[in-house]
Homo-oligomer: A and B are copies of this chain.
Amino acid sequence: MSPPRISDSAVRRLSQYLRYLDQVQAEGTGTVSSEDLARAGGMTPAQVRKDLSHFGSFGKRGLGYPVEELRARLTAILGLDREWRVCVVGAGRLGAALHQYDGFRRRGFEIVGIFDVDPAKIGRRWRDLVVENVTALDEAAEERGIEIGIVATPAEGAQDAVDRLARAGVRAILNFAPATIETPEGVAVRDVDLVVELESLSFALTHGRG
């Protein structure tokens, strides 16, 4: 699989195309046009075609893209044709919400561990899991094949969580803590900062722009 240099925002759009394809496949539609995909995801047809063309020619001119085939290709491109073992660090409210969120599992992201530093939380049962001491992360990651870590700690604990994950060999981190974290080379990080999002809305309202 050739790995072309593609922007992160383009990868996000691939995810959205895939979501739409799942939908229309359930409806039994056989093909979709770049215009259909664009309308569904709020982008332009040209952008859809360019995004897809980075990975090959999946469409038929005059007809569009075959739903089933494009779906399979995008699934493979995004690396979703397998299961990913995920752990959550931080057994607070957010960690609980993430743990119970079904959307992850549906896409092959299986949460196989929850860790915290707080002795009051360690040992509690969460559905099928028990909250573990974060010091056990290293061993657990190897045993269970954890490749993705979700950081749902307060800002103060984020860097420690990330360090432990990185040391345990986890090379992909989704960080919800409102903190800038440092990671060694080769570890991919995506920050989701809810306060920053709200502040961006505050800015938009204040300066009257959509």
| A41-B80 contact in complex given A198-B104, A210-B188, C-beta closer than 8 Å | no
Q: CA of A12 to CA of B3 in the docked complex: distance in angstroms?
A: 29
Q: Give the size of the chain A interface in residues (CB under 8 angstroms).
A: 64
Task: Determine whether A1 belongs to the interface, using a CB cutoff of 8 Å to chain B.
Answer: yes
Q: Judging by beta carbons under 8 Å apart, are B199 and A80 in contact?
A: yes
Task: Determine whether A57 belongs to the interface, using a CB cutoff of 8 Å to chain B.
Answer: no
**Which of chain B's residues has its CB closest to A148's CB?**
B201
Residues of B within 8 Å of A200, CB to CB, are 8, 11-12, 15, 190
Q: Judging by beta carbons under 8 Å apart, are A194 and B12 in contact?
A: no
Q: Judging by beta carbons under 8 Å apart, are B15 and A195 in contact?
A: yes
Q: Judging by beta carbons under 8 Å apart, are A77 and B203 in contact?
A: yes
Q: Judging by beta carbons under 8 Å apart, are A185 and B171 in contact?
A: no
**Which of chain B's residues has its CB closest to A178's CB?**
B103
- A 74-92 binary contact with B (CB < 8 Å = 1; else 0): 0001111000101000001
